[in-house]
Amino acid sequence: MNELTRIALVTGASRGLGLVIARVLARRGYGIVIGARDRAALDAAAAELSAHAPAVLAVAGDVTDAQLRENLIGAARQLGGLDVLVNNASELGPIGPLSAFDVPRFGRLFPVNVGAPMALVQLALPLLTGRRGLIVNITSDAAQAAYPGWGPYGATKAALELLTRTLASELRESGVSAVLVDPGDMRTRMHQEAFPHEDISDRPLPDVTAPFWNWLFDQAPGAMSGQRFAAQQEDARWLQQA
């Protein structure tokens, strides 16, 4: 396969926010590698993205599986390299008070939300370094606010935030950049599954973040490294950083 000009990898890209990000990248001419657990949904996303992207490779599996991560990076290598890595795959888990939280459940939340992104970064670094690429880790305001019931999920995102800022510092001389993006409260399947009896129709769809992603991918990665952005911030603070 001929080497493409720009290549991106997005996890959790079969629906919701991940698919919105992949759409933005596809329409900007990126070759795309997408990953998710649901093969049927992933194939449908790949078919849609192929109408815009010069190449789309879909790799199905659980991001906590080391072989799946190897396959994702192998797909990026097949396309010719990697410019953007978006660690979007995440698990919210049950919402409830810490006093009743099933502590062994951390054995799932931390590997998905923290361990897998860091392992994928390690595998991707040789490709990202070659192109002075950008790592985008998806966070949440739950990482910074003590919302009742959100403690376990918030703890994983707080850990990811610290690791991302550390990465930005450690990788600066290599030319690889790392940023955090809080997409804000949205109407997604993950959110609905956490609150099965709640009406979340008042939340915006993930498409509301598309202007931010278009802005982000216009920026020079090195000038942003280590920063945290709020994609739905009403005062458009991120636009003022351009």
| Euclidean distance between CA atoms 4 and 155, whole angstroms | 38
pLDDT value of position 203: 60
Q: What is the DSSP string of 12-32?
A: S-SSHHHHHHHHHHHHTT-EE
The string over 149-170, giving b where at least 16 C-beta atoms fall within 10 Å of a residue's C-beta and e elsewhere, is bbbbbbbbbbbbbebbbebbee
pLDDT value of position 145: 84
* 8-state DSSP, 89: -
pLDDT value of position 188: 52
Q: Looking at the domain 7-240, which fold is it?
A: Rossmann fold (3.40.50)
The string over 94-112, giving b where at least 16 C-beta atoms fall within 10 Å of a residue's C-beta and e elsewhere, is ebeeeeebeeeeeeebbbb
Per-residue pLDDT of the chain (242 residues; tens, 9 = 90+): 345 789 999 999 999 999 999 999 999 999 999 999 999 999 999 999 999 999 999 999 999 999 999 999 999 999 999 999 999 999 987 788 999 888 888 888 999 999 999 999 999 999 999 999 999 999 998 888 888 888 899 999 999 999 999 999 999 999 999 999 998 775 555 554 555 556 555 666 788 899 999 999 999 999 999 999 998 875 555 655 44
Using CA atoms, how far residue 172 sits from 117, 137, 150, 156, 216, in Å, is 19, 16, 33, 24, 18
Which residues are identified as catalytic? Answer: 153
Domain residue spans in the chain? Answer: 7-240
| Euclidean distance between CA atoms 46 and 22, whole angstroms | 10
Which neighbouring-strand residues pair with 59?
35
| Euclidean distance between CA atoms 198 and 200, whole angstroms | 6
> How many Cα atoms are found within 13 Å in the side-chain-facing hemisphere of 44?
8
